[in-house]
Copies of this chain bind each other. A is one copy, B any other.
Amino acid sequence: MTKQAAYVAVDWGTSSFRLWLIGTEGDVLAERRSGEGMLTAAKTGFEAILQSHLDAVAAPAGLPFIVCGMAGARQGWVEAGYLDTPALLADIVKAAVRVPGIARDVRILPGLAQRNPSAADVLRGEETQLLGAGDILMAGDHLVCMPGTHSKWVRVSNGTATGFSTFMTGELFDAISKHTILSHTVGDGGSFDGTYPAFVDAVAQVRDNPALTSNRLFSVRAGQLLHALPATDGKARLSGTLIGLEISGALSTVPAGGGICLVASGPLGALYQAALAAFDLTPVLIDADDAVRHGLASAARAIWPL
């Protein structure tokens, strides 16, 4: 497709796949997105999926690959292990693992692990977003919120990830809205944003008393039975309750008053921005897609200097 291609960057999640063909000037020459995440690839083959996307963008042969995410999990392509906290972000690339037994040069970046038994935690993929978040994390203390299926809140001090906490927010939303009595209430709910009153109210209620969370969830159902609340209200309330619980919990582990960064994209980012505002917090916004690509680029430059 082009003579300027330098390497291929891949963000390989549990259920999503993104690939960028990057030029010698660091420019994006082509982008591919699909649902062929780790779960699919573990069945159909990681290299076959890569090849199909390379063919689709007519990439030249012989390019090296830099990969982050679940491809490096134990149940992924090749295990890339974990870097233990406290971890210098710049050290992530040193722990990259090369996929053995194939002609391509494929390097998979490791995750981060917090081995403290009373706060055991792991992340994989987000370390690359931190690496690509820009100079802001290299100096001073930051609390970085990275929302998603498993939201990560990372404490970064002068370029070192000192600790982090995972919250199952996205996955709880899914499990509760599909597999509990709330499925009758939120199943037909439409879309809403951070200004939706039921969302704002739910965030405020759980902020004021997080212990009542599982009661607040049931009140979504009871509110529909007794007051005919619309399904979109129920869905917004479930979302606001779980996001509010996450923020309450994350803030409970750090001293008040530090700076907050929000690494997110699209509607989810806007929802978290609104929820953080209910806690009087105005985050620095970092686009999640840009961050992971910049992180992969930073790793590529370190492994294959031009």
Residues on A lying within 8 angstroms of B by beta carbon are 113-115, 117, 119-122, 150, 165-169, 171-172, 174-176, 178-181, 209-215, 217-219, 222-223, 225-227, 242, 245-246, 248-253
Contacts and interface: CB of A to CB of B under 8 A. Distances in A.
Contacts of A175: 175-176, 179-180
Given A211-B252, A226-B120, A172 B180 contact: yes
Contact of A168 (B122, B217, B251): B217
Q: Is the interface of A mostly helix, strand, loop or mixed?
A: helix
Nearest to A182: B168
A113 to B, nearest CB: 6
Contacts of A150: 181, 218
Q: Which 8 A-B pairs have the closest CB atoms?
A: A210-B211, A211-B248, A211-B249, A120-B222, A166-B218, A175-B179, A212-B249, A120-B223
Given A122-B225, A179-B179, A168 B218 contact: yes
Contacts of A168: 180-181, 214, 217-218
A199 to B, nearest CB: 16
Contacts of A225: 120, 122
A103 B169 CA distance: 52
Nearest to A246: B214
B179 A178 contact: yes
A151 to B, nearest CB: 8
Given A176-B175, A180-B168, A252 B209 contact: yes
Given A120-B222, A121-B218, A223-B117, A213 B171 contact: no
Contacts of A212: 165, 249, 252-253
Contacts of A211: 210-211, 245, 248-249, 251-252
Given A113-B226, A122-B225, A226-B120, A172 B214 contact: yes
14 contacts: A115-B226, A117-B223, A122-B225, A150-B218, A171-B180, A172-B180, A174-B180, A175-B176, A175-B179, A179-B179, A210-B210, A210-B213, A212-B249, A213-B245
